[in-house]
Amino acid sequence: MFTATENAKGEKLDLFHSVHGWLMALYERDCRRRFSPDDHWLRKDLKPSLLFQELEKGKRRAQLLLQYIPHVIPHKNRVLLFRNIVTKEKETLGLVETSSASPHVTHITIRRSRMLEDGYDQLRRLPVNSIKGVIRVKFVNDLGVDEAGIDQDGVFKEFLEEIIKKVFNPALNLFKTTSGNERLYPSPTSYIHENHLQLFEFVGKMLGKAMYEGIVVDVPFASFFLSQVLGHHHSMFYSSIDELPSLDSEFYKNLTSIKRYDGDVSDLGLTLSYDEDVMGQLVCHELIPGGKTMPVTNENKISYIHLMAHFRMHTQIKDQTAAFIRGFRSIINPEWLHMFSTPEVQRLVSGDNAEIDLDDLKKHTVYYGGFHSSHRVIIWLWDILSNDFTADERAMFLKDTGDTLGSVLRGFFTIRKKEPGGRLPTSSTCFNLLKLPNYSKKSILRDKLRYAISMNTGFELS
């Protein structure tokens, strides 16, 4: 039997979970559509360094903050915590270089013309810890001749970015885009690929690997799909209707108008089913067994709305979503993401659209080859980035294009023909290195930089 004290504790715990659930529901809604003032949820006195220390000591306060009220901690601090957690795991698994041991390295050879096929064949059967570890890529052409390049993370980063770009391309029909804002989610007709579920698991692993290594990729996900990846749909406060606009706002508008219909809904001729055009054929999906013979009435219209929303966002793609989640979670522990809302996880995947912090970039720049912070070319460079370039140009400057050696040579000879006076700045993909010629004038540096970032030329493997 329970004592009065135990009953009281249980009631307090139930109350806590209820209040916490409603608080998180409000926070998630605020993240989707802002209604509170900026910084409303934050506690600015919480420093990430102290949280690191408290987490490492297993202190309950830090664990509770991350588990129950993570939004009180600024997003950038939670990102630092996430990176710290990943680093700790790498150290535990022996995946980082130490004075006494070197991590195991997996080498793969990739043909550019068959990048997805080669990557899939060579990586999908690797043990999870090998995927989490160091992977070195050697690119070859169709004749088997090696490309120039030594992979010091840069070539693998290029490979990962390119393979993710291919698998998320809607033309492949593994993923499709939402109407309106063109966000990605699994295609209901991905079964045209014989091994589509294995591909989804592989894609999940590759996205997990990108997040594990802190590599941002241009993959804008539909909010409802990310919610499923995060497991939010298992919450008692989750509503398919709330998520439906992120799939199709027009469909949501039409569907919810049934709730407000003044007359007899049965006059609309709807049944508990969904008719879909699949590659030119009309396919009827029953929302419940026998649904195509059951009319929608005033009595069951609310049930119909929820069934339809659930079918479109869950039932239709449940196998694809499950396979993707299985692959993703084999790399990223879902508990690590509990401290982020859905939009914040999207920022972990694709990076922030905030302005680049040039002061921070300056602070972490290392100079070689005679350059130093007081060199005239370096002073010009920072002044151009700060005062002459737009925010978009600064973002393009940082973007590592990773062109092949062949395309660089084509670009270089074209440039020489038009601009015989000098070379473009180049970036070495292999070592994530910017190579800057010693220009004689600031105006020349500005023009060359603009040309290089806008034309995607002047980048080389070396």
So which residues are the catalytic ones? 430
Q: Residue 243: which of 227, 270, 224, 267 has the closest Cα? A: 224
Q: H or E segment at 186?
A: strand 184-186
Termini Cα distance of the chain: 74
CB 405 within 8 A of CB 337: no
Q: Is 332 strand, coil or helix?
A: coil
- Phi, psi for residue 220 in degrees, rounded to 5: -85, 110
Beta carbons within 8 Å of 285's beta carbon, 6+ residues apart: 273, 274, 275, 276, 311, 316
- For residue 115, what are its two tokens? 């990048």
Q: Residue 294: which of 266, 271, 311 has the closest Cα? A: 271
Locus of tokens 């290195």? 433
Please tell me what DSSP assigns to residue 33.
S
Please tell me what DSSP assigns to residue 287.
S
Beta carbons within 8 Å of 243's beta carbon, 6+ residues apart: 223, 224, 227, 309, 313
Q: Which amino acid is at 253?
A: K
Neighbouring C-beta atoms of residue 20, cutoff 10 Å: 13
Residues in the chain: 462
Q: How far apart are CA 209 and CA 329, in angstroms?
A: 10
Q: Residue 331: which of 159, 206, 229, 236 has the closest Cα? A: 206
Neighbouring C-beta atoms of residue 129, cutoff 10 Å: 12
